Structure 1
Amino acid sequence: MSLPHALLGLLIVQPRSGYELTKEFEGHLGRHAWAAGHTSIYPELNRMADAGLVEVTHEGARGSRYYAATDAGRAELRRWMFERDRTRKVRNEEVLRMFLISALEPEDAIAYLRGVAEFTGDQAAQLAEVIATLEAQCGPIEFGALAAEYGRRQYEAVHGWAEWAIEQISAQTTSRSSSSTAS
């Protein structure tokens, strides 16, 4: 359900063509939040236009269409942003992996967690660079800058958690080794 809402948000910020929307999803938006390609964007724009959520504002070169959100589209994005569906099924592959770490041998669990720590550290550093660029261009609360800061903080939190988890597993493994050699 999020692709139409991502499109609405982008079109509320600024009317765009399908090509320009596709480019947004090829950048930071697609890399850090929601991936979508032109094969899903263009049909979704047509559905949204049929539903009255967006409208074609003008046609450009080679038949390109420029879209803007309608009042109904703005209302739909607002409704969706504030909606909390507590009955929906949760499917989060990363959280599932965290539940299953204890199924791994301690060495494998530590190796996995080191990979998590390295990845999240790298991602946090990359987002810090994005944030600096966005803040220099348009200020700290413009579209994308708040999301980048949110992502950076999430990556830093997971990075810290992974390092903590490595310490916990290492300490438990050391404790078990000491107990078995003392027997």
Structure 2
Amino acid sequence: MAHRRPREHWLWWLTEELRRRGEQALYPQFPAPERPSVDEWVELLHAELAQLGDRERVVVCHSLGCALWLRAARDLPAELRVDRVLLVSPLGAQAFTAENGNEEFRIGGVDREALAAGRVRVVVSATDPYAPVDPRGWSAGVDCDVLPDAGHITPAEGYGPWPGVLDWCLDERTPVAGHAER
């Protein structure tokens, strides 16, 4: 499993749409995606968060990025805490392997209080091959949208432009589960 995002990915689209609307949007490209390092990725995450201004801070993560956030949030300095976090397609235990090069990102459990965000929302697919068997099990206590048949929520499943995630970024009261443009 590579940790690269093609230009067609909804995260690229989201970043460009937010910037087009005048929002500050950062999209860090983490080093060595084929052999990711928790320490290097957390260091870059901290540097990116430090660039955010005083406006509402919203973090959107996908796949391994969710594991990064869950690990980094445990010890995130108070000045880097965020207002909202969206975790899309968090990985299940079976996805953390030496073969995938991401085993050091494995998390044991999720402590709702340690997520370093005021509000957290999770979006999962009922057909994600990398997700927990029961995606709602680990996310108890947070809002969770379950897409019925969206795979790992990537361009291969039609998730390039995704107005639902853009709407949520602009207004947290909007459900994320809105359909992607196909």
TM value normalised by structure 1: 0.22
Query: 1 or 2 for the larger relative contact order (CA 8 Å, sep ≥6)?
Result: 2
Mark the structure with the bigger radius of gyration: 1
Structure number with higher helix proportion: 1
Structure number with higher strand proportion: 2
